[in-house]
Structure 1
């Protein structure tokens, strides 16, 4: 049965609603960045750019780097934006826009997030790189979908118990990243760990300005979380949504984090732009290796 127009929304030119993209505009290798200005920082390394568009915070450029076709998309901030971006990217490769039907043969995308993050462990030093082996969804977005096949129940239960997780909040969901992409990007100088994804920057990450927060001790509880050696290494706002939706839709995803702050030590990078630039070049060269 064709997907209704109210569910799969297309623009007058046939592009997908929010991203303003047509299937031919994207590669199977896609880099996510949060900031729209960071798209050009990635593509400035490209040999050529064949396509670009922007609608709202979603800026896209597709081009070639060392002979490989790569797409770079800015997602904006937060798991709700990832819900839009990943569902629309999947539609571009796995739904026939003419018939509005799911294709018989499904395509799998390789999705690489290049983003910034704050460390929750003293040993994860600022100005370093970190690969998210798993992602902890603390924001509840994934509960809109059937997630039984992608969850890690023992880790989730341990987190609930060790943090005395409030029953009024959505139960945490922990999802594994792509083992294939992890092997591609890992190195001796790169940290690895469980990344927590919050639904906001202030209260959800334990920051207090004028508003009291439900659990002032949550960050310290996450700092000390340990389940069979698995620790929560860092905190950001997109990875769990990327891992959860990618796993459900059959795509490969990895999150590469530039550690610009250490929340335990209260330190912040003095040259975050250079750190991010170094992560960009590292990722591009690993993709083409």
Structure 2
């Protein structure tokens, strides 16, 4: 048991899927896993463990943003021995080629968060990247499932509402979309030595004023979940 997780050692599987929304964690557990047991409910951050095609998998809600997510990652890895974390969330698309519902694998994560500067100090540019074996496996797993995926640099924003951020410049430099967690996930993975990957679904498009409805989000996110769960079978 930790400050934010009231589980016991062994309650979490080696692989954890990490949506931001605790209710999405509940949805994933109820619709994709078998023999599900709830292992956490502290502060409403729901956590579950079950099986997918016979393999134990856990899913844990982490809240929004790097600070909230970092609490759960630190405790999952340090206290419960988790070895692989795949974030499964939504993002705002920026690239013209991305359509609503597209699945994206974050091969790098830029950010305006202070976490990297606070870790390395001024004058050092540190690039946040996922575990390559996990990324490569997810990409080829999606191919086998006939689920198109795109791979690219995701911007992990420190603020959801930020009129001062120059999105045009980020887009010009090849950033394909924005969310609020990827850079923190990859930074902690480098520090704590676990496998990490950010798998995302485009829920809206920043430049085209498009957004999925609640029903469309529920349906389209199934592709992302299938990629993540099928990838988990190989680790």
**TM value normalised by structure 1:** 0.72
Alignment of 1:183 with 2:136, yes or no, is: yes
| Structure 2 residue corresponding to 1:245, chosen from 182, 185, 188 | 188
Q: CA deviation at 1:61?
A: 0.5
Q: CA deviation at 1:89?
A: 1.5
In structure 1, how many angstroms separate the alpha carbons of the residues matched to 2:58 and 2:169?
A: 38
**Cα pair distance change 1:21/1:141, threshold 3 Å:** farther
Q: Secondary structure at the match of 2:25?
A: helix
**TM value normalised by structure 2:** 0.88
1:22 and 1:92 in contact (8 A); partners too? no
2:39 and 2:48 in contact (8 A); partners too? yes
1:3-82 correspondence runs (5 A)? 15-44=1-30, 45-82=32-69
Q: Which digits, 9 at most, give the CA deviation of each residue in 1:183-227, with x for residues without a partner?
A: 111145100000110112111xx3xxxxxx3x5xx00111111xx
Q: CA deviation at 1:22?
A: 2.5
1:134 and 1:176 in contact (8 A); partners too? yes
| Structure 2 residue corresponding to 1:174, chosen from 127, 131, 136 | 127
Q: Which digits, 9 at most, give the CA deviation of each residue in 1:40-96, with x for residues without a partner?
A: 2211221211342211142110111111011100001000012211111122146xx
1:136-147 correspondence runs (5 A)? 136-146=110-120
| Structure 2 residue corresponding to 1:192, chosen from 136, 151, 155 | 151
Q: Secondary structure at the match of 1:174?
A: coil
Q: CA deviation at 1:286?
A: 2.9
Instruction: Decide which structure has greater helix share.
Output: 2
Q: CA deviation at 1:265?
A: 1.8
Gaps of 5+ in 2: none
1:58-207 correspondence runs (5 A)? 58-93=45-80, 109-146=83-120, 156=125, 173-186=126-139, 187-188=142-143, 189-203=148-162, 206=163
Give the RMSD, CA atoms, in angstroms: 2.1
Q: CA deviation at 1:110?
A: 0.7
Say how many residue pairs are matched. 225
In structure 1, how many angstroms separate the alpha carbons of the residues matched to 2:128 and 2:155?
A: 11
**Cα pair distance change 1:247/1:57, threshold 3 Å:** farther
**Cα pair distance change 1:26/1:146, threshold 3 Å:** farther
In structure 2, how many angstroms separate the alpha carbons of the residues matched to 1:33 and 1:57?
A: 13
Give the aligned partner of residue 266 of structure 1.
209
Q: CA deviation at 1:282?
A: 3.0
In structure 2, how many angstroms separate the alpha carbons of the residues matched to 1:135 and 1:41?
A: 27
Q: Secondary structure at the match of 1:111?
A: strand
Which one has the largest radius of gyration? 1
